[in-house]
Copies of this chain bind each other. A is one copy, B any other.
Amino acid sequence: MSEHLAELRTPCALVDWGVLEKNCARMSGRARSLGVVLRPHVKTHKCVEIARIQTRGHSSALTVSTMAEARAFAAAGFNDLTYAVPVPFHAIPEAADLLARGTRLSLLLDSEVALRELEAAGSARNLRLPVFLKVDCGYHRAGVDPGREESLELARALAASPHLEFRGILTHSGQAYRCASAEEALSVAEHERDVMAAFAGKLRSAGVPVPEVSVGSTPACCAARDWSGATEIRPGNYAFFDAFQAAIGSCALEDALAFTVLATVIGHYPERKALLLDAGALALSKDPGATHVDAPCGFGVLCDVPGRPIRGLRLGSLSQEHGQVVVSDPTLFARMPLGSKVRIIPNHSCLAAACFGSYVVLKDGRADGKWDTMGGR
């Protein structure tokens, strides 16, 4: 049964099926044309239905960010997962359980201490735990420095371990989020590729086989023209995009209509040029957005229900369940009466999506179905 958006209770999370399909098809085509496996990161949406769209025509390989995601996607039949965080040791027993039951959950390590922990677990369970060596390609969040001799030695030890399966090397070009344009993101992608190809070459020359070279971030994957040397990409945000990605040139703003937060106007204060929405920090997150470029929207881009940006409005501040909007054009009060609805493209769709337990699916402008997400850890 389809519903008009005006009938929905708010705040709620909308996924526009048509835009989602387009975003997914575009990245799917990019992966195919550049000859790399697409292993989408599902942390953006945490939703089985969306992962099915993303992997259509591909293997069912996915990237996850929590063990709750690993558990839920494994239960839904996705049996080739990469847990893309340096593995917290308490997660190792559950990862081993998943492997024993047939889900190849690859783990990340970037230290000798972690290597010993994983070896001990593999040995105790008589399993070969699949492991990637996490490499720092310039983001400086996690990963070994590919220029250091110790990094080569760690890869060698990993590949030589009878209790581990060395899957290869993996990096995340998160520094692409600091770019201001697609051109800059292209340089990041090229640097990422070159760093990883060179490190893979160095390992292979040293007699260490490197089955996979896994790269990517959404801005880098949107900009890249050549992934030579890489075997797979792991973008995630591209399914939804958001105001941040539009600001740095990864997508057009209308691509980011894939995920919006529907809100209701609950206050009019023309004397202080403000109106109030029922979407606050627990619907949008407090992500400040692309402040290094220019975020004239504040905490998200306000759109009307059909999805057209409403110019002259700025989400000035958020409290837990209130969103305060600065109204520079007084005629907008009449256009947005109390009780009317707006759609908000959040600054960061991954964090906003995690505020909701399900998505209302939008087809041809009407609410048509609901997709659940998995919360928890």
Known contacts A281-B287, A286-B351: does B321 contact A11 (CB below 8 Å)?
no
Q: Is A232 an interface residue (CB 8 A)?
A: no
A117 to B264, CA, bound (A): 15
- Is B276 a contact of A285 with CB atoms below 8 Å? no
A87 to B65, CA, bound (A): 37
Q: Which of A50-58, A139-147, A192-200, A242-250 has 4 or more CB atoms under 8 Å from chain B?
A: A139-147
- Is A338 a contact of B114 with CB atoms below 8 Å? yes
A91 to B11, CA, bound (A): 11
- Residue from A8, A269, A288 with most neighbouring chain B CB atoms (10 Å): A269
Contact residues in B for A89 (Cβ distance below 8 Å): 264, 338-339
- Is B264 a contact of A90 with CB atoms below 8 Å? yes
Min CB gap A186→B, angstroms: 22
Q: Considering the complex of A and B, which 9 residue pairs feature the smallest CB-CB distances, nearest first?
A: A89-B339, A286-B286, A86-B266, A88-B264, A113-B338, A88-B278, A65-B321, A86-B267, A9-B90
Contact residues in B for A9 (Cβ distance below 8 Å): 67, 88, 90-91, 377
A65 to B145, CA, bound (A): 47
Contact residues in B for A8 (Cβ distance below 8 Å): 90
Min CB gap A327→B, angstroms: 13
A:285-329 near B, CB below 8 Å: 285-288, 319-322, 324
Interface string of A137-166 (1 = CB under 8 A from B): 000111001000000000000000000000
Contact residues in B for A350 (Cβ distance below 8 Å): 320
A287 to B89, CA, bound (A): 28
Q: Is A85 an interface residue (CB 8 A)?
A: yes
Min CB gap A307→B, angstroms: 21
A375 to B319, CA, bound (A): 17
Min CB gap A98→B, angstroms: 15
- Is A351 a contact of B320 with CB atoms below 8 Å? yes
Min CB gap A45→B, angstroms: 12
Q: Is A357 an interface residue (CB 8 A)?
A: yes
A:238-278 near B, CB below 8 Å: 264, 266-269, 271-272, 274, 276, 278
Q: Is A111 an interface residue (CB 8 A)?
A: yes
- Is A272 a contact of B321 with CB atoms below 8 Å? no
Known contacts A9-B377, A86-B266: does B285 contact A142 (CB below 8 Å)?
no
- Is B351 a contact of A267 with CB atoms below 8 Å? no
Q: Is A174 an interface residue (CB 8 A)?
A: yes
- Is B282 a contact of A351 with CB atoms below 8 Å? yes
Min CB gap A179→B, angstroms: 16
